[in-house]
Structure 1
Amino acid sequence: MTTEDILRLRNLGEVNKVQFKERILDKYDIGCELVAMSNFRGGQLVIGINDKTGEFNPLSYAEVQETTNMLSNMASENVVPGILLDIDTATVEGGSVVIATIKEGNNKPYHDNKGIVWVKNGADKRKVFDNAELAEMMSECGSFAPDEAVVKDATLDDLDENTLKVFLQNRFATVLEKKGMIGDAMREASLDEVANAIAKGHNLNKLMRNLRFLRPDGSLTVAAMLLFGKYTQRWLPVMTAKCISFVGNRVGGNQFRDKVNDADMEGNLLHQFETIMSFFTRNLKNVQVEKEFNSLGRLEIPYTSLVEFVVNALVHRSLNWNAPIRIFIFDNRVEIHSPGILPNGLQVEDITNGTSMPRNNFLFNNAIYLLPYTGAGTGIQRALEDGLQVEFKNDERTHEFLITVMRKEDLDIDSDTLTLDLDTKEGCPNTDSDTFKSDSNTFKPNSDTKEGYPNTTPNTKDECPDTIRTKLSNKQKDIVNFCSVPRSSREILERVGVRYHNTNIKRYVTALVEAGYLEMTNPDNPNASNQKYRKK
């Protein structure tokens, strides 16, 4: 290190990665500094500068020799497990200073020779007693994988069959299709039969062991419960999200427009994702983006951007911190609070540049078969391409990663109304679909119909409107969000809670297809047994 380098370092003063000492007077204290930097992001310890005044107190040749030997000994004796130091000197007027560079450790947590774990806290250091923080250190260096930890007493009976089938169908699509395990055959098969179709001679238990969702002793992993659990929060109570839409711009406000109940959020990650997206779609405004009066609106914050932010929070959150994801909608902004800072030393500029370094590797590699993301590290970049005003904050003080998206106040907004351009015949709604009542804010079957069938009589005697403007009900919005992942008509009707019948298919599925909100995955064969519907 040159004299100019050490002057520049001195002029910046003590920070979390730089510490000054005039001399080594207390070996234990210096050892604690080495521990703290190893447990943090590394740093530099400079001997020969007064930490109070910043003035040089150069070391003589003999002091330099003695100091370097003492530092080497402390790195092996006062730091457990031992570390290696890169020791350098720089010449200043009157002598030299010694600079010890400490790398971030890859065997955390380190502790002193009394068994105390230290970590940097600004220019100072602090003791660590919280098991969650210790587990986070172990996770960062790969000695502990929280997503592969055991969920005590949980069994395969605590997993949701439908979610498991979606996962297996997406992961083993080619194999299952060759075996004819698609459509009705897939829905009616037991999980053991599906497992045997994937790998001959396997039942669900054996397949889940091979996929590492079951440990050798038969215990379920955290990843399995998060991905497939029926009542995930029974076993992992903090692995949930709190969603509140406030009146005003303060989190301390005592008025709110909407709040997701804890019971509604209870479930696996797929259920949580769908519930959160439904919360967004019913609380954010819709913008008229085209000149045509009846063109479809879009959310003021693009849906695709929200998907990226939500999936990142669900999949990359710290599993060690006992805190839920928090999602707040204010009048001027949206906040998404995810427990845990960015892992492995990542900084905000890294993720905005597309660097992908998952925190929960096993969960990340399997959630891709349930949640809509690519895993290529491009999600944040795609979200930023929408021109949003977004702020990312890696808050080490609160141990959370915060995404703040500003809402625009000058939008061309018509409440939260979407417009539908219905198929018409001579200016009237298509009578083969559900009847859309022009005097209602929601579309629904005419209450005068017999057995729920559409009424083909126009609303007016002489004429019908060319188009009908309508507002999606919460149930209809929920269906659209539910179909972010392709769904069969049976799955959609089960979601709504009605029996599987042609009338209900028309009411809850066909109507949204004709309105342009859903599309078929196999449009060339509308009556295909494996037909599914996805958000358009």
Structure 2
Amino acid sequence: MTNDILEQIKAGEVSGVQFKERTLDKYDIGCELVAFSNAHGGKLVVGVNDKTGKINALSYSEVQETTNLLSDIASENVVPSILINVDTVVVEDGYLVVATIKEGVNKPYHDNKGIVWVKNGSDKRKVFDNAELAEMMTDCGSFAPDEASVKDATINDLDTNTIKAFLENRFDKVLEKKGLVGDAFKEASLDTICSAIAKGHDCERMLRNLRFIRPDGKLTMAAMLLFGKYTQRWLPVMTAKCICFAGNSVGGKVFRDKVNDADMEGNLLHQFDTIMDFFTRNLHNVQIRAEFNSMGKLEIPYSSLVEFTVNALVHRSLNLKAPIRIFIFDNRVEIHSPGDLPNGLTVDDIKLGTSMPRNMFLFNNAIYLLPYTGVGSGIARALDENINVTFTNNASVQEFVITVWREESNQVDVESNQVGNEVDTKSNQVEGKSNQVEGKSNQVQDSDTRLRHSDTPKVSLSNKQKDIVNFCSVPRTTAEIMERLGLSNQTKNRERYITSLVAAGYLQMTNPENPTASNQKYKKATTK
């Protein structure tokens, strides 16, 4: 410990280590302890000048006095009171006192004047924002924002088809025993399905029992995020901003594609589908075999993009008033998720598969709508794809950023990287007024986006079927599709998840003249 402290003194103060020459100001010391408790803990070293880093060792009697004083401050100047661990370090001419403060479990802590402090680099700052206070309470488990109520929303604001898809996935075995599968399930009313799952239950009672409706009759935030028709009417910031820039700067005013707010409006399943469509139409396919006509694959593996997107949607902070932001640049893709890693997690932890969900109730239920396993292996599986990815946990701005670097060979110049289905030749030009962010130029880009989204099928699909349609943005074999679903390559599975989607126009064959060809693949239909 002595060597570690001496090395830290040479390096200077950081967010987790603070220096004080003496404990002369009880209030100031109390504020430091509050800030550490509201952050991830730290050490207060007494006997070092915080301006110069020069050691001014304590005498034996000063050590006794300082130790007692620190304990008093932790009890009287920190609310609620905390326990600290105090050690001494022998140095030339005397001692240093090192107080170790753990991350608090009853956040937010405040001083004896009622002020909340948090660490701000090597310094501290006051907190006044309710969202930041709520984030502290969430971090220590005393507040669950996904179970908070949504003011004035009612069950009529939820989407019936999404609730049916959720129930189908969650209670598939029960429904199968009751004969509610396939067309029988599709034709059944929501109340009929609920009654089959639990006798005497209608939709409202089912949602109450599943805790999507609170005892006071109000919808939870999780219900609105998972099932809402127009989620952003009630929760405006629970959305995503998607922009594909020309160049490598977020300050650029020229873009190739963006998703309009109206097209993103909807629940998490809709947002997931919209984001994946954005990726697949703006990232490139690269050849994986030498033959010119060989099928390519998405330059960033589709499975990795799924994991990163679900991570942003499910694990984002629900307290912070900021949207998810997704940017595609010429050299990288960035996914910005509001909120730094929760519960003291580090980047190394998530790479190893450590799972400590921020929004536990949402996390445990979104698994029945979104494609993830829920066992914390998503990031690890994405890394197995051998992609060049950087994770940035930025606590100072409360944001977690995933950056996936694109291969230089996959980068295309501005003129050749136009998005398909543009309105006319003039709107295809990246340079000039047609693609400017400001003014009338947005009208062209917006109409383009609406055209692209007008092809979206209106018929409701199950969660697994939607995932397969998106998965086939790159041509896939039958074996790949079955592996994606975790199902055996049997006739009934092929009929449900491939043949039926081809017949309905969601998928198309790469070799339609020979349906039974050994090299047959399936891709997402360009039109419906």
Asked if Structure 1 and Structure 2 have the same fold, meaning a TM-score greater than 0.5 normalized by the shorter chain, the answer is yes
Residue in structure 2 matched with residue 50 of structure 1 by the alignment: 49
Secondary structure of the residue that 1:138 maps to in structure 2? Answer: helix
Deviations 1:302-332 (A, max 9, x none): 1111101100000000001100001111111
For residues 324-368 of structure 1, give each alpha carbon's deviation from its aligned partner in whole angstroms, at most 9, with x where no partner exists. Answer: 001111111111111010111111111111111111111011011
> What is the identity percentage for the equivalent residue pairs of Structure 1 and Structure 2?
67
TM-score by length of structure 2 reads 0.81
Conserved 8 A contact 2:388-2:404: yes
Answer yes or no: is 1:315 the counterpart of 2:320.
no
Q: Deviations over 1:257-297 (max 9, x none)?
A: 11111000000000000000001111111112123444322
- 3-state SS, counterpart of residue 6 of structure 1: helix
Question: Is residue 278–residue 478 contact of structure 1 (8 Å, CA) maintained in 2?
Answer: no
Displacement of 1:7 = 2.1
Aligned to 1:154: 153
Take 1:376 and 1:271, find their aligned partners in 2: how far apart are those partners?
A: 23
SS in 2 for 1:345: coil
3-state SS of paired residue (2:107): coil
Q: How does 1:70-89 map to 2 (within 5 A)?
A: 70-89=69-88
Question: Where does the alignment leave 5 or more consecutive residues of structure 2 unmatched?
Answer: 419-450, 508-521, 523-528
Does 1:345 find its partner at 2:347? no
The 5 Å alignment of 1:426-437 reads none
Query: Alpha carbons of 1:134 and 1:117: their partners in 2 closer, same or farther (altered >3 Å)?
Result: same
Q: Which residue of 2 aligns with 1:446?
A: none
Q: State whether residues 486 and 532 of structure 1, in contact with CA within 8 Å, keep that contact through their aligned partners in structure 2.
A: no
Provide the C-alpha distance between the structure 1 equivalents of 2:253 and 2:366, rounded to a whole number of angstroms. 36
Following superposition, the deviation at residue 403 of structure 1 comes to: 0.8
Q: Counterpart of 1:524 in structure 2: which amino acid?
A: T
Counterpart-to-counterpart distance in 2, 1:108 and 1:384: 34
Q: Alpha carbons of 1:249 and 1:6: their partners in 2 closer, same or farther (altered >3 Å)?
A: closer
Cα 1:56/1:360, change in 2 over 3 Å: same
Instruction: Name the structure where helix makes up a greater proportion of residues.
Output: 2
TM-score by length of 1: 0.80
**How far apart are the structure 2 equivalents of 1:399 and 1:256?**
27
AA aligned to 2:67 is T
* Residue identity opposite 2:491 in structure 1: D
2:431: which partner in 1? Answer: none
Match of 1:487 in 2: 465
Pairing 1:11-410 to 2, within 5 Å after superposition: 11-410=10-409
8 Å contact kept, 1:285–1:413: no
Give the letter aligned to residue 260 of structure 1: V
SS at match of 2:87: strand
Query: In structure 2, how many angstroms separate the alpha carbons of the residues matched to 1:389 and 1:236?
Result: 34
Matched position secondary structure for 2:335: strand
Bigger radius of gyration among the two: 1
Gap change, CA 1:412 and 1:344, over 3 Å in 2 = closer
Deviation at 1:159, TM superposition (A): 0.7
Report the CA distance shift for 1:179/1:220 in structure 2 as closer, same or farther (over 3 A). same
Quickly say closer, same or farther: Cα 1:43–1:412, change in 2 above 3 A: closer
Number of corresponding residues: 460
Match for residue 524 of structure 1?
491
- Check 1:531–1:230 CA distance in 2 against 1; reply closer, same or farther (3 A cut): farther
CA distance in 2, matches of 1:347, 1:217: 38
CA contact (8 A) 2:263 2:453 kept: no
Say which SS state the counterpart of residue 392 (structure 1) adopts. Answer: strand
CA root-mean-square deviation: 3.1
Does the 8 Å CA contact 1:285/1:416 hold for their aligned counterparts?
A: no
One-letter amino acid of the counterpart of residue 75, structure 1: A
Gaps spanning 5+ residues in structure 1: where?
418-472, 496-508
Measured in 1, the distance between the counterparts of 2:319 and 2:107 equals: 15
CA distance in 2, matches of 1:251, 1:397: 20
- The equivalent of 1:435 in structure 2 is none
Equivalent position amino acid for 2:322 in 1: A
User: Residues 236 and 204 (structure 1 numbering): CA distance in 2 closer, same or farther, change over 3 Å?
Assistant: same
Q: Aligned-pair distance for 1:416? A: 8.7
Q: Deviations along 1:228-284, whole A, 9 cap, x unmatched?
A: 100000000000000111111111111111111100000000000000000111111
Distance verdict in 2 for CA 1:336–1:302, change over 3 Å: same
Letter of the structure 2 residue corresponding to residue 80 of structure 1: V
Cα distance, 1:532 vs structure 2: 5.5
Question: CA, structure 1 residues 532+487, in 2 after alignment: closer, same or farther (shift >3 Å)?
Answer: farther
CA contact (8 A) 1:182 1:530 kept: no
